[in-house]
Chain A
């Protein structure tokens, strides 16, 4: 079965995810939540993997840190990839671990040519360790940093060209970053190399509860109509790609999420998936 639209797998939905069959349905997990010697979570994931394609979407490799990827983390990721044979392994254009401290977030950095060299090397090390290409996702951004030498789209395209990695385009992150930093999301999406794009993410965002004008990539709400429109526009340009609906907070019933994933599936089917 070719994966079309999938859902981020949540523990409260294990039973339904295992039982549900739908054309093109697949699931994605953060490998960090399964990096254990054993336990019921791994058992459930194995049972779900028997019936559905799976993607491993890392949040902790810290590719944009000015340091080599942690060998223990890479080994744990490889063990999961070897066991579950995911159709995609992805990570973020961000850093989270620095000088032995892990910050559970996806942190920004100045996109300099030196950073490009470092991150390309880190992606290369990761791909060598895993024995496969990965996809790299655009982050949501909240700070107007100075010192960038490349646009994010140039930076991502150059990483793909140098390392052979693909791109995971999070349309909600594009929308949030564009709103926060003041650029046009359409132009951003148009600038990405279509051939490198291997997966698309959709999620919901919200206003900053801290009272600022920032949009926050909360994953706590349905996908917004503005993001659906950008998604349709992107798929019309590049063709169908496996698409994930992510929800990590205020998680509704499984069928509510399935309705969103069915909407993405319909967009992909229309585009010829």
Chain B
């Protein structure tokens, strides 16, 4: 232990509310400067969470979000200075946060915000054009499509993805909670993040691709999820979304 270590332990305690250990360095435990540091740190963490969870922040308003985010940050402070991904576990935390009991859709909103934030900062990769899939049927069925590094998708028991998209677009009129299950697809093949609602067949297809299944198997999974689905249209839409960046051999 050095004096600098002792000081930093004492200062960290003071930031958390107990200024007594800082006594050897600071006579006045009520010094207003301590509040300045506490406020700056709280604001920095809340601002980072608001940037990473913009839909949650918009839905609940600045005051509610600021109070909730400050509590989350106290329990789960960031580990490092790059705050671009800060907020892991915020959705699960909101699900256990009693004041959010009246907002049962909120954790799902946070889950989708986090997926979108991750897609925003994911690695660059060029999406395959439709020409890349002009293969003999057997070769195509055996090929394993590689997903874009930014690809994220999830399935929900009800129409939360449509609710999230409407909230993102600030389209309050469209914010109805459809009871039908649906999924969300998020991908950033170029400059902007694209988000859309997906059906069970598309979700099954993407899950198979994520598990490195060959294309034939992924198509089978989609057909099984929804025998009525238009498979060529489903596949063409995903190619247009820029979901695939490569085709590996069987």
Q: Tell me the A85-101 residues at the B interface (CB within 8 Å).
A: 95-101
- B80 and A97 within 8 A (CB): yes
Q: Measured between alpha carbons, how far is A37 from B150 in the docked complex, in Å?
A: 10
- B3 and A60 within 8 A (CB): no
- Closest Cβ neighbor of A140 among chain B residues: B36
Q: Measured between alpha carbons, how far is A42 from B33 in the docked complex, in Å?
A: 36
- B37 and A107 within 8 A (CB): yes
CB neighbours (8 Å) of A107 from chain B are 11, 37
CB neighbours (8 Å) of B15 from chain A are 103
Give 1 or 0 for each of A215-226: 1 = CB within 8 Å of chain B CB: 010000000000
- A102 and B5 within 8 A (CB): no
Q: Measured between alpha carbons, how far is A213 from B31 in the docked complex, in Å?
A: 11
- Closest Cβ neighbor of B125 among chain A residues: A38
- Closest Cβ neighbor of B28 among chain A residues: A144
- A102 and B2 within 8 A (CB): no
- A37 and B8 within 8 A (CB): no
Q: How many residues of A contact B (CB 8 A)?
A: 53
- A142 and B4 within 8 A (CB): no
* Any A CB within 8 A of the CB of B132: no
- A39 and B122 within 8 A (CB): yes
CB neighbours (8 Å) of B2 from chain A are 66, 114, 118
- B36 and A102 within 8 A (CB): no
Q: Tell me the B102-118 residues at the A interface (CB within 8 Å).
A: none
- A104 and B40 within 8 A (CB): yes
CB neighbours (8 Å) of B31 from chain A are 143-144
With contacts A104-B41, A210-B36 known, is A66 near B5, CB below 8 A?
Answer: yes
Q: Measured between alpha carbons, how far is A243 from B204 in the docked complex, in Å?
A: 56
Query: Closest approach, in angstroms, between the C-beta of B119 and any C-beta of chain A?
Result: 9
* Any A CB within 8 A of the CB of B146: no
* Any A CB within 8 A of the CB of B84: yes
* Any A CB within 8 A of the CB of B227: no
Q: Tell me the B41-96 residues at the A interface (CB within 8 Å).
A: 41, 44-45, 48, 77-84
- B81 and A62 within 8 A (CB): yes
CB neighbours (8 Å) of B81 from chain A are 32, 59-62, 73, 96-97, 102, 104
Interface centre among B12, B25, B124 (most CB of A within 10 A): B25
Q: A98-B12, A180-B33 are in contact. List 10 more A-B contacts (CB 8 A).
A: A59-B81, A60-B82, A101-B78, A102-B79, A107-B37, A109-B11, A115-B3, A147-B3, A210-B36, A214-B36
4 tightest Cβ-Cβ pairs between the two chains A and B = A60-B81, A104-B44, A142-B33, A212-B32
